[in-house]
């Protein structure tokens, strides 16, 4: 698909692309809010500064998507309290309030970023043109966050492997369950509250995508991230097998 | 706990031969509280998962020595083993190889289809402290020794028998041919690619050996007293074979089981298999889900080659490429097996332990 030119797109294509932008903007704003909340709760000045920096980076991503959508007449819908995004945020806040920096990093930088990097990359290849470039550039930046956090989490695992893996397991089931329901073939909890009309999952074929591949690639990157951190494969296979299908 | 810090004697890289097996394994992990996934649901997730270590394996030798290994699942899709998926499959195998190296396994076997996609090119992988083998030498040794044993039980004189090898130009097929060339009445060689079959046939020409070769199975099958199946095709047509023919089915997907079901006059067993008398165990214990043999402690020849090499602290590419297996190496590997209490598996097929014609179930 060439550079996004709304006039050249069918209504179905425009609708699904609009929903993709709505989800991307909402996701980036959730990321921004997560890091802003984290900055508020941590004492270490360096960690605090890093959290603010990350919040700003997510804000820039959201702005990039919003700017593009506006310029191209996409009527996006932003809803931070939507069912899935809102629940992810609640999970994040529950750890942020306990000043659990590592747990926050796991949710934002491993779980959410794995999904963002994989999905943005697939969307970029499907859209092509300027929209594709935008998604690809942001995916690259999110990838850096993912890699950076892997280094920190690997070190945390080495300090106390058993406690780390147990904590990770708890967060996995609290948070990845929501993301798995969100990306299931059918909406397991009703309308997500972000898409304009019906769930966009059924319309992705209009731009050459399908939810199974998007979700599969996202889970693959998540599994790869767990490997990079050093979570034993015999654990992660059980974690993944026990997610909603 | 970090899997990178543990040191392993051996690793097995493998794949499953049906979606049913994969789904039943995944559903075990979902027990007892989550709803079972259907095969269709499993297919939507698991082909995407990168290769990973699924369980650890402890093996005990008859000498008392113990070795520790790991099973790495490639998540190669069982219905996508054909050439059109080669790139994707090679990519999965290479990721599994990287993982085996990362977890520090000293000797790694490429089980089943995983060595075939790399065409056995494991020698180039042998850098650093992790070494790779295809495991084909022991598979071939188990095949030929089991054929000799079964022939003896059936009262066949191999020296007067016609032995048909289906898949004669493959790594294991060539090894079987080399082993039997001076021991049987006549060799019958079959594979589909004419020029490769010609090349392999030329290697026995002039050796005073009776042989025939053909790309058409039906031109050879009527003469066969013994059939060795080492092709990578399922449902090979056995029509026209002699009543009472002895069949060793060692290929995957199972080459002849389906055809055999309607052919109860003949004796068919699954070949290339061994049994560990000292036993082995899995951690976590998934034996109920992944173990499918009718008697305990049976394993594939290719996986047992890595175990034997680990028990001997012999970390090398014992089997590599195609056509490099020597009869001498087969004998050496087989005698190392004996030393460690690793014997031929009892004869069995998909219906259970074999009852050779007119006999009780055979147990060794
Ligand atoms: N039991 C065990 O532990 C164990 C271990 C390793 C391997 N195996 C199995 O043993 C088999 C052979 O392995 P390998 O490494 O020797 O494989 P390979 O080198 O790829 O050889 C396979 C051979 O089968 C021939 N072939 C394929 N389809 C055929 C057909 N329909 N009719 C006749 N010939 C056919 C191929 O030649 P053409 O393409 O020219 O026909 C080739 O000669 C594989 O199925 C493998 O999974 C078993």
Whether residue B177 is predicted with pLDDT greater than 50 in this model: the reply is yes
Minimum CA–CA partner of A155 in chain B:
B2
Query: Which residue does chain A place closest to B32, by CA atoms?
Result: A242
pLDDT bucket at B362, cuts 50 / 70 / 90: very low
Is the CB of B300 within 6 Å of ligand 1? yes
Burial B121-157 (b: 16+ CB within 10 A, else e): ebbebbeeebbbbbbbbbbbbbbbbbbbebbebbebe
Encode pLDDT of B331-350 as tens digits: 999 999 999 999 999 999 98
Atom of ligand 1 nearest to the CA of B192: 41
pLDDT tens digits, one per residue of B244-256: 899 999 998 777 8
Cβ–ligand 1 distance for B169 under 6 Å, the answer yes
User: Residue B360 pLDDT more than 80?
Assistant: no
DSSP string, A188-209: BTB--SSSSSS-GGGGGGGGT-
* B104 φ, ψ (degrees, to nearest 5): 75, 30
- Mean pLDDT across chain A: 91
Q: pLDDT tens digit string along B50-87? A: 999 999 999 999 999 999 999 999 999 999 988 899 99
Q: Is B51 in the pocket of ligand 1 (CB under 6 A)?
A: no
Q: What pLDDT score does B51 carry? A: 97
Residue A117 and residue A142 in contact, taking contact as beta carbons nearer than 8 Å = yes
pLDDT in tens, B79-91: 998 889 999 999 9
Q: Does the ipTM exceed 0.85?
A: yes
Q: Which stretches of B103-185 are DSSP H helices?
A: 113-117, 136-153, 171-180
- What whole-number distance in Å separates Cα of residue A238 and Cα of residue A179? 17
Look at residue B263 and tell me whether its pLDDT is greater than 70. Answer: no
B49–A217 CB contact, under 8 Å: no
Q: Given an 8 Å threshold on Cβ–Cβ distance, is B30 in contact with A242? A: yes
pLDDT band at B3 (very low <50, low <70, confident <90, very high): very low
User: How many angstroms separate the CA of residue A44 from the nearest CA in chain B?
Assistant: 28
**pLDDT value for B278:** 96
A77-120: pLDDT as tens digits: 888 988 889 999 999 999 999 989 899 999 999 999 999 999 99
Chain B residues with CB under 8 Å of A224 CB are 50
Task: Kindly state if the Cβ of B251 falls inside 6 Å of ligand 1.
Answer: yes
**Ligand 1, atom 21: nearest CA belongs to which residue?**
B170
Percent of chain A at pLDDT exceeding 70: 96
Tokens of A147: 């890699």
> pLDDT at residue A188 above 80?
no
Question: What spacing in Å lies between the alpha carbon of B152 and ligand 1's midpoint?
Answer: 26
Strand partners, B276: B342
How do residues A57-73 score in pLDDT, each as one tens digit? 999 999 999 999 999 99
Length of chain A counted residue by residue: 245
- Mean pLDDT across the stretch B94-103? 94
In chain B, count H helices and then E strands.
Answer: 11, 17
Ligand 1 atom closest to the CA of B300, numbered from 1? 3
Give the tens place of pLDDT for each residue, B126-156.
777 899 999 999 999 999 999 999 999 999 9
pLDDT at B50: 96
pTM of the model: 0.91
* B170 within ligand 1 shell (Cβ under 6 A): yes
Q: A202 or B27: which carries more pLDDT confidence?
A: B27
| Residues written for chain B | 364
Q: Does B68 touch chain A (CB under 8 A)?
A: no
Q: What is the model's pLDDT at position B147? A: 98
B264 compared with B196, residue with greater pLDDT: B196
The pLDDT value given to residue A40: 86
Which atom belonging to ligand 1 lies closest to the Cα atom of B304? 3
Question: Which residue's CA lies nearest to atom 32 of ligand 1?
Answer: B191
| A103-106 CB contacts, 8 Å cutoff, 24+ apart | A103/A167, A103/A171, A104/A34, A104/A38, A105/A149, A105/A152, A105/A153, A106/A153, A106/A168, A106/A171
Q: List the domains of chain A with CATH numbers.
A: 6-241 (1.20.1260.10)
């Amino acid at each position: 698909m060439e550079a996004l030119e709304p006039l050249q797109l069918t209504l179905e294509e425009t609708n699904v692309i609009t929903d993709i932008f709505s989800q991307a903007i909402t996701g980036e704003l959730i990321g921004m809010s997560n890091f802003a909340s984290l900055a508020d709760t941590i004492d270490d000045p360096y960690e605090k500064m890093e959290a603010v920096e990350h919040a700003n980076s997510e804000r820039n991503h959201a702005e990039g998507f919003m700017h593009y959508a506006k310029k191209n007449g996409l009527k996006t819908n932003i809803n931070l309290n939507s069912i899935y995004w809102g629940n992810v945020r609640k999970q994040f806040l529950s750890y942020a309030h306990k000043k659990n920096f590592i747990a926050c990093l796991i949710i934002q930088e491993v779980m959410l970023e794995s999904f963002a990097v994989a999905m943005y990359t697939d969307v970029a290849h499907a859209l092509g043109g300027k929209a594709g470039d935008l998604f690809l550039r942001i995916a690259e930046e999110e990838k850096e966050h993912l890699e950076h956090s892997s280094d920190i989490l690997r070190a945390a695992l080495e300090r106390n492997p058993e406690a780390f893996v147990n904590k990770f397991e708890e967060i996995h089931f609290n948070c990845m369950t929501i993301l798995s329901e969100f990306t299931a073939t059918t909406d397991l909890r009703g309308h997500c509250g972000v898409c304009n009309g019906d769930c966009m999952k059924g319309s992705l074929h209009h731009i050459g995508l399908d939810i199974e591949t998007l979700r599969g690639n996202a889970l693959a990157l998540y599994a790869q991230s767990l490997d990079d951190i050093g979570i034993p494969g015999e654990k992660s296979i059980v974690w993944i097998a026990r997610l909603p299908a | 706990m970090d899997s990178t810090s543990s040191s392993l004697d051996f690793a097995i890289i493998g794949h499953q031969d049906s979606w049913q097996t994969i789904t039943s394994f995944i559903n075990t992990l979902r027990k007892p509280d989550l709803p079972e996934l259907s095969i269709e649901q499993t297919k939507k997730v698991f082909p995407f998962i990168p290769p990973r270590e699924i369980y650890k394996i402890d093996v005990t030798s008859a000498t008392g020595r113990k070795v520790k290994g790991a099973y790495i699942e490639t998540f190669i899709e069982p219905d996508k083993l054909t050439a059109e998926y080669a790139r994707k499959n090679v990519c999965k195998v290479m990721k599994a190889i990287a993982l085996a190296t990362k977890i520090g396994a000293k000797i790694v076997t490429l089980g089943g289809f995983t060595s075939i996609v790399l065409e056995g090119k494991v020698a180039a992988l042998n850098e650093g402290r992790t070494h790779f083998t295809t495991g084909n030498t022991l598979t071939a040794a188990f095949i030929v020794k089991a054929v000799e044993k079964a022939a003896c039980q059936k009262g066949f004189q191999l020296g007067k028998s016609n032995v048909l090898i289906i898949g004669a130009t493959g790594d294991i097929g060539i090894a079987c041919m080399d082993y039997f060339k001076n021991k049987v009445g006549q060799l019958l060689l079959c594979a589909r690619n004419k020029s490769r079959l010609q090349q392999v046939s030329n290697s026995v020409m002039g050796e005073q050996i009776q042989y025939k070769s053909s790309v058409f199975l039906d031109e050879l099958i009527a003469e066969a007293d013994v059939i060795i199946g080492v092709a990578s095709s399922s449902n090979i047509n056995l029509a026209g074979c002699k009543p009472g023919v002895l069949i060793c089915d060692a290929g995957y997907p199972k080459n002849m089981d389906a055809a055999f079901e309607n052919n109860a006059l003949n004796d068919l067993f699954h070949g290339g298999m061994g049994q560990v008398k000292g036993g082995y165990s899995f951690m976590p214990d998934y034996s109920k889900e992944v173990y499918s043999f009718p008697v305990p402690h049976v394993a594939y020849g290719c996986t047992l080659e890595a175990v034997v090499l680990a028990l001997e602290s012999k970390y090398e590419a014992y089997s590599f490429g195609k056509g490099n297996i020597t009869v001498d190496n087969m004998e050496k590997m087989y005698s190392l097996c004996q030393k460690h209490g690793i014997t031929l598996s009892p004869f069995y097929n998909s219906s259970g332990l074999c009852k050779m014609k007119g006999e009780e179930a055979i147990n060794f």
